[in-house]
Structure 1
Amino acid sequence: MDRADIVHDNFLRRVAARDFPHGRLPEGPLSPFLAVAAYRAGCLTRALDRQSRVMQRAGQGFYTIGSSGHEGLAAVALALRPTDPAFLHYRDAAFQIARASQVPGQTPAWDMLLSFASSSEDPISGGRHKVLGSKALAIPPQTSTIASHLPKAVGAAYSIGAARRHRPEHAEYPEDAIVYCSFGDASANHSTAQGAFNTAQWTSFQSIPLPLLFVCEDNGIGISTKTPKGWIEASFAHRPGLKYFRADGLDIYQTYLVALEAADYVRRRRKPAFLHIGTIRLYGHAGADVPTTYLSREEVEAEEANDPLLHSVRLLDQAGVMTPDQALVVYEETNARVVRVADQAVTRPRLKTAVDVMASLVPPRRDCRPTNGPTAEARAAAFGGDMKAMAEPQIMSRLINWALTDLMLTHREIVMMGEDVGRKGGVYGVTQKLIHRFGPDRMIDTLLDEQSILGLAIGMAQNGFVPMPEIQFLAYLHNAEDQIRGEAATLPFFSNGQFTNPMVLRIAGLGYQKGFGGHFHNDNSVAVLRDIPGVILACPSNGPDAARMIRECVRLAREEQRVVVFLEPIALYPMRDLHADKDGGWMGLYPDPSEVIPLGEVGVHGAGDDLAIVTFGNGYYLSRQAEQLLAGQGVKARVIDTRWLSPLPKEALTAAVGGARRILIVDETRHSGGVAEALMAHFHEVTDVPLSRVTAEDSFIATGPAYAATMPSRDQIVAAALEMMK
Structure 2
Amino acid sequence: MNDAADKNGMGRESAGNERHGKTMVEAINRALREVMEEDERVVVIGQDVGVDGGVFRVTDGLIDEFGSDRVIDSPLAESAIAGVSIGMALNGLRPVAEMQFSGFSYLAFAQVEGHAARLRWRSRGGLGVPMVVRMPYGAGVRALEHHSESREAFYGHVPGLKTVIPASPRRAHALLHAAIRDPDPVIFMEPKALYRSFREDLPEAPDEAEIGRARIVQQGEALTIIAWGAMLRPVLKAAARLAEEAGEVAEVIDLETIAPIDAPAIADSVSRTGRLLIVTEAPLSYGPAGEVAMRAIEGAFFSLRAPICRVTGWDTHVPFFAREQSYLPSPQRIFDAARELLKH
Whether the TM-score (by the shorter chain) exceeds 0.5 is yes
Task: For 1:609, give the aligned amino acid.
Answer: E
Q: Please give the residue correspondences for 1:126-141 in structure 2 after superposition, counting only pairs within 5 Å.
A: none
Counterpart for residue 476 of structure 1: 104
Separation in 2, partners of 1:428, 1:708: 22
How far does residue 658 in structure 1 lie from its aligned partner after superposition?
4.5
* Secondary structure class of the residue paired with 1:440: coil
Deviations 1:664-711, CA, capped at 9 Å, x for gaps: 111111111211010010111111312211111111112211123222
Contact 1:609 1:637 in 2 (8 A): yes
Counterpart for residue 589 of structure 1: 201
Counterpart for residue 566 of structure 1: 188
Task: For 2:138, give the aligned amino acid.
Answer: L
Pick aligned residue for 1:410 from 38, 42, 50: 38
Contact 1:406 1:593 in 2 (8 A): no
Farther off after superposition, 652-661 or 502-511:
652-661
Task: For 1:524, give the aligned amino acid.
Answer: S
Deviations 1:454-503, CA, capped at 9 Å, x for gaps: 01101111110000000111111111201111111111211112223220
Higher relative contact order (CA 8 A, sep 6+): 2
Q: Does 1:700 align with 2:317?
A: yes
* Secondary structure class of the residue paired with 1:529: helix
Q: Does 1:724 align with 2:336?
A: no
Separation in 1, partners of 2:41, 2:309: 45
* Secondary structure class of the residue paired with 2:187: strand
Farther off after superposition, 493-502 or 414-423:
493-502
Task: For 1:573, give the aligned amino acid.
Answer: Y
Counterpart for residue 680 of structure 1: 293
Contact 2:152 2:258 in 1 (8 A): no
Q: CA RMSD in A?
A: 1.7
Task: For 1:567, give the aligned amino acid.
Answer: M
Contact 1:548 1:591 in 2 (8 A): no
Pick aligned residue for 1:465 from 93, 104, 125: 93
Contact 1:541 1:643 in 2 (8 A): yes
Counterpart for residue 548 of structure 1: 174
Task: For 2:171, give the aligned amino acid.
Answer: D
Unaligned runs of 5+ in 2: 1-16
Rg larger for: 1
Counterpart for residue 655 of structure 1: 268
Task: For 1:722, give the aligned amino acid.
Answer: R
User: Given the superposition, is the C-alpha separation of residues 552 and 425 from structure 1 closer, same or farther in structure 2, using an over 3 Å criterion?
Assistant: same
Deviations 1:7-58, CA, capped at 9 Å, x for gaps: xxxxxxxxxxxxxxxxxxxxxxxxxxxxxxxxxxxxxxxxxxxxxxxxxxxx
Contact 1:619 1:667 in 2 (8 A): yes
Separation in 2, partners of 1:484, 1:718: 38
Q: Does 1:605 align with 2:222?
A: no
Counterpart for residue 155 of structure 1: none
How far does residue 641 in structure 1 lie from its aligned partner after superposition?
0.1
Counterpart for residue 713 of structure 1: 330
Q: Please give the residue correspondences for 1:473-512 in structure 2 after superposition, counting only pairs within 5 Å.
A: 473-512=101-140
How far does residue 637 in structure 1 lie from its aligned partner after superposition?
1.1
Contact 1:600 1:652 in 2 (8 A): no
* Secondary structure class of the residue paired with 1:516: coil
Pick aligned residue for 1:537 from 163, 182, 187: 163
Separation in 1, partners of 2:336, 2:32: 39
How far does residue 552 in structure 1 lie from its aligned partner after superposition?
0.8
Q: Does 1:640 align with 2:287?
A: no
Separation in 1, partners of 2:65, 2:253: 37
Separation in 2, partners of 1:599, 1:524: 20
How far does residue 426 in structure 1 lie from its aligned partner after superposition?
1.0
Task: For 1:569, give the aligned amino acid.
Answer: P
* Secondary structure class of the residue paired with 1:532: coil
**TM-score when scaled to structure 2?**
0.90
Counterpart for residue 449 of structure 1: 77
Q: Please give the residue correspondences for 1:207-246 in structure 2 after superposition, counting only pairs within 5 Å.
A: none
Runs of 4+ more than 6 Å apart: none
Contact 1:551 1:596 in 2 (8 A): no
Contact 1:540 1:643 in 2 (8 A): yes
Q: Please give the residue correspondences for 1:423-434 in structure 2 after superposition, counting only pairs within 5 Å.
A: 423-434=51-62
Task: For 1:473, give the aligned amino acid.
Answer: F
Deviations 1:550-594, CA, capped at 9 Å, x for gaps: 1111111xxxx2011111001000112xxxxxxxxxx21112225
Separation in 2, partners of 1:439, 1:673: 43
Across the two proteins, how many residue pairs are aligned to each other?
322
How far does residue 723 in structure 1 lie from its aligned partner after superposition?
0.9
Separation in 1, partners of 2:150, 2:211: 23
Separation in 2, partners of 1:523, 1:416: 24
Separation in 1, partners of 2:266, 2:209: 15
Separation in 1, partners of 2:166, 2:158: 20
**TM-score when scaled to structure 1?**
0.43
Unaligned runs of 5+ in 1: 1-388, 577-586
How far does residue 505 in structure 1 lie from its aligned partner after superposition?
0.8
* Secondary structure class of the residue paired with 1:441: coil
Task: For 2:149, give the aligned amino acid.
Answer: D
